[in-house]
Chain A
Amino acid sequence: MSQNGKPSGLFKNLSAKIAAIPMVLTALVVFVGCTVWTIVFSFTNSRLLPRADWVGLAQYERLWGTRRWLISIENLLIYGSLMLILSLVLGFLLAALIDQKIRFEDGFRTIFLYPYALSFIVTGLVWQWVLNPEFGIQNVVRSLGFGNFTFDPLYNPNLVLYGVLVAGLWHGSGLVMCLMLAGLRGIDEDVWKATKVDGIPTWKTYIFVVIPMMRPVFVTTLVLVTSGIIKLYDLIIAQTGGGPGLASEVPAKFVFDAMFVSQNLAQGFAASTMMLVAVTFIIIPWAYLEFGGKKNG
Chain B
Amino acid sequence: MKIIVCVKQVPDAKDVRLDPKTNTLARDGVQSIMNPYDRHALEEAVRLKEKHGGMVTVVSMGPPQAEVMLREAVSCGADEVVLVSDRAFAGADTWATTYTLSMAIRKLDDFDLILCGKQAIDGDTAQVGPGLAERLQVPFVAYVRKIRECDGKAMQVERLMDDGYDLLEVPLPALFTVVKEINEPRIPSLKGKMKAKGIEITVFNASDIEADPEQLGLKGSPTQVVRVFSPELKGERAMLAGSADEQVAQLYEKLSPLL
| Pair from one complex | no
